[in-house]
Chain A
Amino acid sequence: MRIDRRNFFRVIGVTGAALTIGKDTIATPKNENEIEFNGILYDSTRCVGCQTCEYSCAEANHLPEPVDAPEIGVLRKTDESRRTVINGYNTSKGEVYVKRQCMHCNMPACTAACLTQAMHKTKEGPVIWREEKCMGCRYCMVSCPFDVPKFEYHSPNPKITKCDMCYDRQLEGKLPACVEKCEAEALVFGKRRDLIKEARRRIHENPDLYVDHIYGEEEAGGTGFLYLSPVPFEELGFNTKVQKISYPELSKGFLYSVPTVFVLWPALLLGIQEATKNNKPKIEENE
């Protein structure tokens, strides 16, 4: 390939960007108010723990069928062969079932962590993983506050697996498999903003049934999956330590300082070097 001048400057520009990490790259995480993300509202007061979502998820993603059923007090976890699970909890208001999967954060930690853009927040809302980009560093797993991405530790060609809100089905105009199949209507698919309104309406109309908290409205800077619950969320094993601001915010300060250091340091070093040039060595150097 011949490198002409334009190309050369492009290369320089890209390298420069790589070195300094421009501000816009991190400021972009989608302005929440401009883009309407799709999301799913899950109402645990309606869920009967029938596992239909687990079965339909397995079918849609060509995964093995679930082999165990939810049991009160037993914590089942998602793993490389199942992307959603239902767990039963004994709470102050009796048995409650909860579905678990990726939260599809508005500003996902996994996406900010990914150095290949394999983890990607689509403009539609689902957070997807792209096989041809991923290098398997598992930094997304380290960063996700909900421990969602899973890794195939026993494969020579391992993949990161997690719920992708049936992104392909959405592009075809279909509902996510779990939403489509849920007969108890515990799952509703829609624009995130509409879902929040719907959740508020339910709480408002039935204040005795629900706690006044939509998990995911503010957690981790807002998530695409929203939860309603009859009991405080810690009773359902939710991570309530989760901060309200988004997780990528935590490393923003560091990343912002990088360009500054890159400009100031060399200048400073050169200055010092000039100033000390004529220092006499303390011990005789007979060279």
Chain B
Amino acid sequence: MSNMDSFTIAKDQENKNLWRFLLSEFKPKGKIFTPFNIISVPIMILGLALIVIRFWKGIGSITNLTQEVPWGLWIGFDVVTGVAFAGGAYVLTFMVYILNMKNYHSIVRVTVLNGFLAYVFYAGALLLDLGRPWNVINPIIGNSFGTSSVLFLVAWHFLLYMIAQLIEFSPAIAEWLGARRARKILSSMTIAAVIFGITLSTLHQSGLGALYLMAKDKIHPLWYSEFIPILFFVSSIFAGLSMVIFEGSISHKVFSDQISEKNHQAHTKIIHGLSKICAGAMFAYFFLQVLVFVHGKHWTMLNTAMGYWYLTEMIGFVICPMLLFFFSYRKNNILLIKVASVITMVGIIINRLNVSVIGFKWDAASHYYPTWMEIVVTLAVIFTEIWIFRWVINRMPVLRDSPSWVKNIK
């Protein structure tokens, strides 16, 4: 936000007010003892304590990672799954700014905010998993570019995409601070940031899958194919949109006072429209999965425990929610759409974990299970993200309409 300040610094007396304004904004708003706070605060404190132990005694002190399974829940869920869920931001900016589907405009900001925070926190979770995080600058400042590494690409794209998302979101910050000139400059950068952001997303959503390409002998053949990158990319479309539907329906309850009557009504239409896109993307995904399966010739494997698990994923968590999306779109049943989005999200979690954790070294003598501590840290990360999300929503014009002066400077 510091560069935002510098825009306003020109006006001296405004400056003083700005600080007072910021100070007052940092105070909590609303009730303190809500059920969410009562659950989340202890977990966040416990998570923090565990993180201290992790940096003091090493990663092995709180995780179950082994020499054979070096990536566990923190990578498989926090990073790989979390980023898929954050895909809603690039899909939605594509729809609104590139395809000019203006009906969806009212949920762009909240989705971008969600995506941005997801990247900040999940990339943050990545730092927890690094054994030598102080060297994380090496691939960035350029003294050691491992350019043949997929992870190098993914890391850079995370970084650049966060910047792109921050630019996309920045008009809301400017409106919050009342910085009119900055608002104008920043919103003129939106399209460029959107185009850059979509390109980056295409590459790193698939890149997360490409990370596992070299682990050919280690991942169960039903989940390994040279097409993992494409499958990851296509599934990130409906993973992200399901998250948008899910998050939207919660936000509309929790923050209903922020949302104008008009946007409340529009939201039903939006969810309805999104369900059609989800159904379409899932159909494409399912079709690809079938092609990959036929191409891989793994028929005999279906009749094994892992095979049943694979069928469960495909039928229960791809075909089922796909039909449900389609059906509820036709019937215009919003509740069913929400149900479908939840099933889809569970399916995405299962799919990403199947590649990264469950199917990884599936034939090894001992399996990896996360410790309760890994789970607590993961929950702490998620809760912290929600806290920040709530803080921003309560202050900036994200769900609520922009202040009236915005129209005049357009």
Q: Enumerate chain A interface residues (CB-CB to B < 8 A).
A: 14, 17-19, 21-22, 25-26, 29, 77, 79-80, 109, 111-118, 132-139, 141-143, 145, 147, 150-158, 239, 241-243, 247-248, 250-251, 253-255, 258, 261-262, 265-266, 269-270, 272-273, 276-277, 279, 281-283, 285, 287
Question: How far, in Å, is A271 (CB) from chain B's closest CB?
Answer: 9
Within 8 Å of chain A (Cβ to Cβ): is B138?
yes
CB under 8 Å from chain A, chain B span 39-63: 55-61, 63
Question: Which residues of chain B have C-beta atoms less than 8 A from A266's C-beta?
Answer: 195-196, 199
Residue B146 contacts which of A117, A154, A270, A272 (CB distance < 8 angstroms)? A117
Residue A116 contacts which of B55, B98, B135 (CB distance < 8 angstroms)? B135
- Are B135 and A115 in contact, with the CB atoms below 8 A? no
- Are A156 and B55 in contact, with the CB atoms below 8 A? yes
- Are A79 and B67 in contact, with the CB atoms below 8 A? yes
- Are A150 and B149 in contact, with the CB atoms below 8 A? no
Question: Which residues of chain B have C-beta atoms less than 8 A from A242's C-beta?
Answer: 217
The range of chain B's interface size is 35 or more
Within 8 Å of chain A (Cβ to Cβ): is B206?
yes
- Are A254 and B207 in contact, with the CB atoms below 8 A? yes
- Are A153 and B60 in contact, with the CB atoms below 8 A? yes
Q: Enumerate chain B interface residues (CB-CB to A < 8 A).
A: 55-61, 63, 65, 67-68, 70-71, 94, 97-103, 129-133, 135-136, 138-139, 142-153, 155-156, 160, 191, 195-196, 198-199, 202-203, 206-207, 210-218, 226, 229, 266, 269, 407
- Are B103 and A18 in contact, with the CB atoms below 8 A? no
Question: Which residues of chain A have C-beta atoms less than 8 A from B207's C-beta?
Answer: 254
- Are B138 and A135 in contact, with the CB atoms below 8 A? yes
**Bound state CA distance, A147 and B56, in angstroms?**
27
Tell me whether A250 and B213 are in contact in the complex, defined as CB-CB below 8 angstroms, given that A152-B58, A273-B191 are known contacts. yes
**Bound state CA distance, A14 and B143, in angstroms?**
11
- Are B99 and A265 in contact, with the CB atoms below 8 A? no
Question: How far, in Å, is A194 (CB) from chain B's closest CB?
Answer: 29
**Bound state CA distance, A277 and B207, in angstroms?**
31
Residue B103 contacts which of A117, A136, A283 (CB distance < 8 angstroms)? A283
Question: Which residues of chain A have C-beta atoms less than 8 A from B145's C-beta?
Answer: 14, 17-18, 117
Question: How far, in Å, is A92 (CB) from chain B's closest CB?
Answer: 24
Question: Which residues of chain B have C-beta atoms less than 8 A from A139's C-beta?
Answer: 149, 151, 211
Question: How far, in Å, is A159 (CB) from chain B's closest CB?
Answer: 8
Question: Which residues of chain A have C-beta atoms less than 8 A from B94's C-beta?
Answer: 269
In terms of DSSP, what is the predominant structure of the interface of chain B? helix
Tell me whether A154 and B131 are in contact in the complex, defined as CB-CB below 8 angstroms, given that A247-B214, A269-B198 are known contacts. no
**Bound state CA distance, A249 and B171, in angstroms?**
44
Question: How far, in Å, is B108 (CB) from chain A's closest CB?
Answer: 14
Tell me whether A262 and B203 are in contact in the complex, defined as CB-CB below 8 angstroms, given that A19-B156, A25-B148, A269-B195 are known contacts. yes
Question: How far, in Å, is B267 (CB) from chain A's closest CB?
Answer: 12
**Bound state CA distance, A6 and B147, in angstroms?**
23
Question: Which residues of chain A have C-beta atoms less than 8 A from B99's C-beta?
Answer: 272, 276, 279
- Are B153 and A258 in contact, with the CB atoms below 8 A? yes
Closest to A22 in B: B147
- Are A135 and B67 in contact, with the CB atoms below 8 A? no
Closest to B365 in A: A75
- Are B151 and A113 in contact, with the CB atoms below 8 A? yes
- Are B407 and A156 in contact, with the CB atoms below 8 A? no
16 more CB-based (< 8 A) A-B contacts, given A133-B144, A258-B203, A269-B94: A14-B145, A18-B145, A18-B156, A113-B214, A115-B151, A116-B138, A117-B146, A135-B135, A136-B133, A138-B131, A142-B71, A152-B131, A254-B210, A265-B198, A265-B199, A269-B198
Residue A276 contacts which of B65, B98, B146, B149 (CB distance < 8 angstroms)? B98
**Bound state CA distance, A30 and B101, in angstroms?**
50
- Are B216 and A247 in contact, with the CB atoms below 8 A? yes
- Are A262 and B199 in contact, with the CB atoms below 8 A? yes
Question: How far, in Å, is A23 (CB) from chain B's closest CB?
Answer: 10
Closest to B67 in A: A150
Question: Which residues of chain A have C-beta atoms less than 8 A from B67's C-beta?
Answer: 77, 79-80, 141, 147, 150-151
- Are B131 and A261 in contact, with the CB atoms below 8 A? no
Tell me whether A143 and B214 are in contact in the complex, defined as CB-CB below 8 angstroms, given that A158-B132, A258-B203, A283-B266 are known contacts. yes
Query: 7 shortest A-B CB distances, which residue pairs?
Result: A136-B131, A153-B60, A136-B132, A115-B152, A281-B102, A138-B70, A135-B135
A-B contact pairs, 15 of them (CB 8 A): A21-B152, A117-B145, A133-B143, A134-B131, A134-B135, A139-B211, A154-B57, A248-B148, A250-B214, A253-B226, A269-B199, A273-B98, A277-B100, A279-B100, A283-B269
Question: How far, in Å, is A82 (CB) from chain B's closest CB?
Answer: 12
Residue A142 contacts which of B130, B148, B152, B215 (CB distance < 8 angstroms)? B215
**Bound state CA distance, A9 and B207, in angstroms?**
27
Question: Which residues of chain B have C-beta atoms less than 8 A from A141's C-beta?
Answer: 67, 70
**Bound state CA distance, A247 and B136, in angstroms?**
25
**Bound state CA distance, A287 and B266, in angstroms?**
15
**Bound state CA distance, A56 and B148, in angstroms?**
35
Question: Which residues of chain B have C-beta atoms less than 8 A from A17's C-beta?
Answer: 145, 147
- Are B149 and A285 in contact, with the CB atoms below 8 A? no
Question: How far, in Å, is B49 (CB) from chain A's closest CB?
Answer: 16
Question: Which residues of chain B have C-beta atoms less than 8 A from A116's C-beta?
Answer: 135, 138-139, 144, 146
- Are B142 and A115 in contact, with the CB atoms below 8 A? no
